[in-house]
Amino acid sequence: MKVVKTVSELRAALAAPASSTGFVPTMGALHEGHASLIRRSVCENGRTVASVYLNPTQFNSAEDLEKYPVSPAADAALLEGLGVDVLFAPDYGEMYPEGYRYRVIENGFSGLLCGASRPGHFEGVLTVVMKLLNLVRPDRAYFGEKDWQQYRLIEGMKEAFFMDVEIVPCPIVREPSGLAMSSRNRRLTPDELSLAPALYRELSSGRTVEEIRKNLEGAGFAVDYLEEREGRLFAAAFLGKVRLIDNVPR
Ligand code: PAF
């Protein structure tokens, strides 16, 4: 695996011909959910590029960014073991030479669900994903369905800007308890970790939204949103300081 940190090194690494390129953008702190995206890309493409970049522009809270888990050595070892060809691990200066003066803004769906409680979040996500796609120019890019809203917004951006890439959604990977895998799970205390699977259990229980909200609040969650749309039930809820999200078909 070639590890590159600058845009010019990335361009040089990608100059070698490949039958097709798959791309998996990440913010690091990798888990089995990320591994599933990588495996799929390796299986479907001649070459797989992954990025590890903790993108500050998508964090609306300095504390959340500060506390976001990082594990660069373990991440690189995992990616190498899965057969990634190129790992792009840039810093802020490489990704935002213009200082975040240019941004991708969506004026509808991005204001709902996660966007309602995290102002500016999707602006940061869409901007960095546009930059990464322009740099890597993959045939396919892979995104997890845990961040369903993110996936839909990226798909919409691709359509709106006539981008020549296939956006591939991949199913949520869960712990045996049902808890959706997330880098943020690492920040849960042992007590919170034992409560956390209740989120998925409630979402998939078939109960009404009101009952689910009551049960989650009774179990110690602070519910941020619980909403049905697009034939899915979406939730974000805090356990202590950690915000968990999940969604299920309904
Ligand atoms: O889903 C993520 O990890 C991030 O939002 C992404 C797509 C890598 C952009 O920073």
How many whole angstroms from 25 Cα to the centroid of ligand 1? 6
What pLDDT is attached to residue 36?
A: 98
What pLDDT is attached to residue 69?
A: 96
Ligand 1 atom showing the smallest separation from residue 27 Cα:
3
Ligand 1 atom showing the smallest separation from residue 183 Cα:
3
DSSP string, 53-79: ---GGG-S-HHHHHHS---HHHHHHHH
What pLDDT is attached to residue 17?
A: 94
How many whole angstroms from 54 Cα to the centroid of ligand 1? 8
pTM of the model: 0.98
What pLDDT is attached to residue 67?
A: 95
pLDDT in tens, 183-242: 999 999 999 999 999 999 999 999 999 999 999 999 999 999 999 998 999 999 999 999
Confidence at 20, pLDDT banded by 50, 70, 90: very high
Across the strands, what pairs with 229? 232
Q: Among 150, 155, 243, which is best to mutate for testing ligand 1, by the most ligand atoms less than 8 A from CB? A: 150
Domains and CATH numbers, the chain: 2-170 (3.40.50.620), 183-249 (3.30.1300.10)
Catalytic residues: 34
What pLDDT is attached to residue 110?
A: 98
pLDDT in tens, 146-157: 999 999 999 999
Ligand 1 atom showing the smallest separation from residue 55 Cα:
10
Q: Write down how long the chain is.
A: 250
Separation between Cα atoms, residue 156 and residue 105, nearest integer Å: 11
Q: Read off the amino acid at residue 9.
A: E
Element containing residue 25 per DSSP (H, E)? strand 21-26
Which residue puts its alpha carbon closest to atom 8 of ligand 1? 26
Separation between Cα atoms, residue 19 and residue 23, nearest integer Å: 14
Ligand 1 atom showing the smallest separation from residue 147 Cα:
1
Nearest to 145 by CA among 167, 165, 169, 121: 169
Confidence at 82, pLDDT banded by 50, 70, 90: very high
How many whole angstroms from 124 Cα to the centroid of ligand 1? 9
Q: Which residues line ligand 1 (CB under 6 A)?
A: 25-27, 55, 58, 125, 128-129, 147, 150
- Kindly state the average pLDDT of the residues 44-61: 98
How many whole angstroms from 39 Cα to the centroid of ligand 1? 17
Separation between Cα atoms, residue 128 and residue 250, nearest integer Å: 31
What pLDDT is attached to residue 62?
A: 95
